[in-house]
């Protein structure tokens, strides 16, 4: 069987067309996981990554979130593998943990819709509330779905505890 150059060109064109995303495709792009979107946000905003590797459990932060862990989603692992700086974050967390006393109140997240950029954290007694970026909350919730939330003041870090230990903290935003 002889294949003409016209048939080869047609075959190549149809193959390329099948592999090229359609401009007329009106389906929304596949939703990426919160870790990937968080890392994209960090890169877009050129946030500095600081890592504490002084113990087996790693602590990382971009200045708006800090997280403890021994394994991380691939996207996060990628950014903490090449940090901007190494720093002792544990002493800061130890102060937070020690301060996890009567001044801190149990709180809950007032869920925002997926399109909302900000969410509210409110103490269960209603005396304190603050605003945080929804993307950070989504990431923390995916990582620690059973975490209890603690709040101290409008501009203090929000704590996420599992088994009484701080696993993550998110900073409020000033609006």
Q: Where are the domains of the chain?
A: 34-170
pLDDT in tens, 113-123: 556 889 999 99
Q: What values do phi and psi take at 148, rounded to 5?
A: -90, 150
**Who contacts 118 (Cβ-Cβ below 8 Å, separation ≥6)?**
112, 131, 132, 133, 134, 173, 175
Judged against a pLDDT cut of 60, whether residue 80 lies above it is answered with: yes
pLDDT at residue 100 in the model? 59
For residue 22, the SS3 value is: coil
For the chain, give the number of residues. 175
pLDDT at residue 102 in the model? 75
Confidence (pTM): 0.78
Region 52-61: what's the mean pLDDT?
93
Region 5-14: what's the mean pLDDT?
32
Judged against a pLDDT cut of 60, whether residue 16 lies above it is answered with: no
For residue 99, the SS3 value is: coil
Q: How far apart are CA 74 and CA 34, in angstroms?
A: 11
Q: How confident is the model at residue 112 (pLDDT cuts 50, 70, 90)?
A: low
pLDDT at residue 57 in the model? 93
Largest CA distance in the chain: 84
Q: How far apart are CA 111 and CA 128, in angstroms?
A: 16
Query: 10 Å Cβ neighbour count for 165?
Result: 13
Region 57-62: what's the mean pLDDT?
96
Segment holding 79, helix H or strand E: helix 74-80
Judged against a pLDDT cut of 80, whether residue 153 lies above it is answered with: yes
């Amino acid at each position: 069987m002889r294949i003409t150059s016209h048939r080869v060109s047609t075959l190549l064109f149809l193959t390329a067309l099948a592999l090229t995303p359609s401009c007329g495709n009106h389906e929304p792009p596949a939703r990426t996981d919160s870790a990937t979107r968080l890392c994209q946000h960090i890169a877009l905003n050129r946030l500095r990554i600081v890592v504490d590797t002084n113990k087996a459990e790693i602590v990382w932060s971009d200045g708006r979130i800090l997280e403890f862990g021994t394994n991380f989603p691939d996207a996060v692992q990628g950014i903490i593998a090449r940090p901007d700086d190494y720093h002792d974050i544990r002493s800061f967390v130890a102060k937070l943990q020690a301060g996890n006393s009567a001044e801190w109140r149990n709180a809950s997240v007032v869920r925002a819709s997926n399109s909302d950029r900000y969410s509210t954290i409110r103490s269960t007694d209603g005396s304190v509330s603050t605003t945080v970026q929804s993307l950070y909350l989504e990431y923390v919730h995916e990582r620690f779905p059973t975490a209890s939330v603690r709040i101290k003041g409008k501009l203090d870090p929000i704590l996420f505890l599992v088994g009484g230990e701080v696993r993550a903290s998110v900073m409020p935003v000033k609006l």
